[in-house]
Amino acid sequence: MGLGVVGGGVAKVLREKKEAIAEQAGCPLILRKALVRDLSKPRSTQIAADILVTDAYEILTEPEVDIVVEVIGGENPAYEYIKQAVKNRKFVITANKEVMAKHGTELLALAEEHGVDIFYEASVGGGIPLISPLNHDLVASSVSTIYAIINGTTNYILSRMSAEGITFSLALQRAQELGYAEPDPAKDIEGVDAAYKLAILATIAFHSTVRPEDVYHEGITRLTERDFRYAKELGYAIKLLAIAKDIDNSLEVRVHPVFIPEDILLAKIEGVYNAVQLEGDLVGKVLFYGEGAGASPTSSAIVADIINAAHKINSGVEARHKARIFQTKKIKPMAEIETRYYFRMSIVDSPGVLAQIAKILGDNSISIASVIQKGTDDNTQTAEIVIMTHPAQEKAIQRALVEMEGQPVIRQISNFVRVEE
């Protein structure tokens, strides 16, 4: 269902690797029908015209169809189609992060009830094996932390801003020119896409349903060249991280820009690549890296899922263990998270201003780790200062921000970014 970039890619792989796939699956796989919006549209992929349909129910109710591949994207009508497919006892392979993030637990339960399964490896991290290792290979460990770069668009933009010192808008424009950002980039640059993917990973890792609305998200639009310059000076890289932590059965789930030490592996993930780092009590740190999007890597995950589904249909039962949701953990409100912070602000360059700022922070139990003050701008008589704090609670930081904004000597709070070590 869906014969766009990804759907066309899957059809191509099924055709070109027919024999190898049959060998792996234990039976030939035949593309019976393909859902398209417009029958008359010219197509680059060599697909027989007589298998194209415009009515989803021709697929969903077709008895000859055992496996439905949903690559339409977006919540509706994909959600309805997946539900119908499952109810009609068809296995579903989907790359749909929005549907799986919003309705995954319900759909997986429905599939179990109907004796079928939903595979969704392609919904997070393109071709990188993530969901399957979490479900099967890391089940002995209790996962405590996920740090993930799971949006290629924003990682590309941040990489260019960092390497070339260009503005966010220019980097976005470059990404759009190369097809790495959509004409309407909102979902990527605001962190919504990463939040969906994090909800999916956290649900599996923590055996407890995490919904997209549980995930705090903040985009990368406020970052400027100056922030990158200070980050480098302080030994950090800036990344949009999807972060999930299980601290005493209370979950932190959040997507926002962070300062991370420049010498760790996550800081070296450049361009459109994705990387997911997990920490578990037994396994320690593991990291998975690869191309997070694109027709070809996504097809790799989808076709592997198809092969696994075919194998499962042939053998008739579920024999491989899958991590289960057997807990309900509470989501920690953003106000209660604790981390280090970076502030950048413009202040009036006169004696005692830093003392005023330090007092506001101190009154809110925020302790300062380091301060950088740069030369005064003679025209405006303002100076720029950068403050790195020790770990502090988000709500204390927010309160301090409000108090600082009320001070006439503080011209502007230019930015604040959380720091993860």
Q: Quick check: 318 binds a second copy (CB under 8 A)?
A: yes
Closest distance of CB 225 from a second copy, Å: 22
Q: Quick check: 113 binds a second copy (CB under 8 A)?
A: no
The two beta strands, 284-291 and 273-280, are antiparallel
Q: Quick check: 137 binds a second copy (CB under 8 A)?
A: yes
Q: Quick check: 142 binds a second copy (CB under 8 A)?
A: yes
DSSP of 249-287:
TEEEEEEEEEEEETTSGGGG--TTEEEEEEEETTTEEEE
Active site residue 197: yes
Q: Quick check: 111 binds a second copy (CB under 8 A)?
A: no
Q: Which of 38, 179, 321, 351 binds a second copy (CB under 8 A)?
A: 321
Chain residues 228-267 in contact with a second copy, contact rule CB under 8 A = 265
Residue (127 or 185) nearer to a second copy, CB: 127
The two beta strands, 91-94 and 118-119, are parallel
Closest distance of CB 8 from a second copy, Å: 14
Could you tell me which residues come within 8 angstroms of residue 4 by beta carbon, excluding any fewer than 6 positions away? 71
Closest distance of CB 292 from a second copy, Å: 10
Q: Quick check: 164 binds a second copy (CB under 8 A)?
A: no
**How far, in Å, CA of 125 to CA of 276, rounded?**
8
CA-based diameter of the chain, in Å? 80
String of b and e for 279-291 (b: at least 16 CB within 10 Å)? bbeeeeeeebbbb
Q: Quick check: 290 binds a second copy (CB under 8 A)?
A: yes
Report whether 257 contacts 267 (CB < 8 A): no
DSSP of 160-219:
HHHHH---HHHHHHHHHHTTSS-SS-HHHHTTHHHHHHHHHHHHHHHTS---GGGSEE--
Residue (24 or 356) nearer to a second copy, CB: 24
Closest distance of CB 416 from a second copy, Å: 29
Q: Quick check: 271 binds a second copy (CB under 8 A)?
A: no
Residue (14 or 357) nearer to a second copy, CB: 14
Kindly compute the dihedral angle of the four CA atoms of residues 335, 237, 186, 171, in this order, to the nearest 10 degrees: 150
Residue (49 or 282) nearer to a second copy, CB: 282
Q: Quick check: 151 binds a second copy (CB under 8 A)?
A: no
- Nearest to residue 103, comparing CAs of 211, 205, 2? 211
Question: What single-letter amino acid sits at 393?
Answer: Q
Give the x-and-dash track for 4-23 against a second copy (CB under 8 A).
---------x---x--xx-x
Among 83, 197, 245, 312, the one annotated catalytic: 197
Q: Quick check: 179 binds a second copy (CB under 8 A)?
A: no
Q: Quick check: 282 binds a second copy (CB under 8 A)?
A: yes
**Binding residues for a second copy (CB under 8 A):** 13, 17, 20-21, 23-26, 121, 127-129, 132-133, 136-142, 265, 268-269, 280-291, 294, 296-297, 299-304, 306-308, 310-312, 315-321, 323-324, 326
Catalytic residues: 197
